[in-house]
Amino acid sequence: MANILIGDVHGCYEELRRVLEKADFEPCRDTLWFTGDLVARGPDSLNVLRFIHSIKDHVRLCLGNHDLHLLAIYAGISKNKRRDNLEPLLNAPDYDELMNWLRRQPIMQIDEQLKLIMVHAGISAQWDLDTAKQCARNLEAMLSSDSYAFFLNAMYGDLPDFWREDLQGIDRLRYSANVFTRMRYCYLDGRLDLNFKEAPEDAPAKLKPWFMLPRKIPDEYSIAFGHWASLNGKGTPDKIYALDTGCCWGGKLTALRWEDQQYFKKRKIKQKD
């Protein structure tokens, strides 16, 4: 049995199928891990979700910011953007089924045997593992509840940008969602900067990638994440794995087979005019 970790798919269904073929994936034998952002921008978000849903018993995924935005569209809170190529999904007969499955998926995955954590964007340097787990559980409980639309309506915003133990209610949920699904850079004190998105070599001195700050998560754990295509899978410390290599932007879709640390990549297929 292999654990195969997949970077941001973003609706690139054909590339997903081809990279899994290269990795010799067998759904009855192996487990797929997804860093989130399953949908949007690529050409076939509908079939990405249908495929993952069809093998859901062999999948471990965490939700990304584009997945949350899709749920906000489903809840009637946000508007669909044409550039996201979501119309076939929004008009599909199984749209309700897929959305109600999606909103019940985790925000963070942890495997204690593998000592592996997966999130979409990152983990706050201010959090120890128990705090990260609790914040993820709080978000997951809200998204799977009948009140999920209330949170989705209030999740947009950059504040609060600094963790405090006494954060409560929507402030705690919004901060947690921003860490798990949007974070790239922090100030040296751990405060979030959610605006700068370029590669670290272009960052101002006052900002550091979240994974370059001292962390409270025990060193025995590896952390895999997506979200940050401009890293192109490079420049992270030991045991930190950046898996988003920008397939929907003309880059590649990356898969990592955990057991032998072998990478498999598939370049974006050019669409016919």
Q: 24: left (phi > 0), else alpha (psi -120 to 50), else beta?
A: left
Cα separation of 206 and 180, whole Å?
22
- Residue 272 in domain: no
- Residue 13 in domain: yes
Q: 140: left (phi > 0), else alpha (psi -120 to 50), else beta?
A: alpha
- Residue 249 in domain: yes
Q: What burial letters (b/e) apply to 9-35, b meaning 16+ CB within 10 Å?
A: bbbbbbbbebbbeebebeeeebbbbbb
Tens digit of each residue's pLDDT, the chain (273 residues) = 899 999 999 999 999 999 999 999 998 899 999 999 999 999 999 999 999 999 999 999 999 999 999 999 999 999 999 999 999 999 999 999 999 999 999 999 999 999 999 999 999 999 999 999 999 999 999 999 999 999 999 999 999 999 999 999 999 999 999 999 999 999 999 999 999 999 899 999 999 999 999 999 999 999 999 999 999 999 999 999 999 999 999 999 999 999 999 999 988 776 543
Yes or no: say if 230 and 9 are a contact pair by the CB < 8 Å rule: no
Number of structural domains the chain divides into: 1
Q: Does pTM top 0.85 for this prediction?
A: yes
- CA proximity to 138, closest of 151, 149, 127, 128: 151
- Residue 273 in domain: no
Domain of 142?
A: 3-267
Yes or no: say if 2 and 259 are a contact pair by the CB < 8 Å rule: yes
Give the CATH number, domain containing residue 77. Answer: 3.60.21.10
- Residue 58 in domain: yes
Residues contacting residue 77 through CB under 8 Å, at least 6 positions apart:
149, 152, 153
- Residue 156 in domain: yes
Distance, first Cα to last Cα, the chain: 40
Provide the 8-state DSSP code for 80: P
- Residue 241 in domain: yes
Cα-flanking dihedrals φ and ψ of residue 78, to 5°? -115, 160
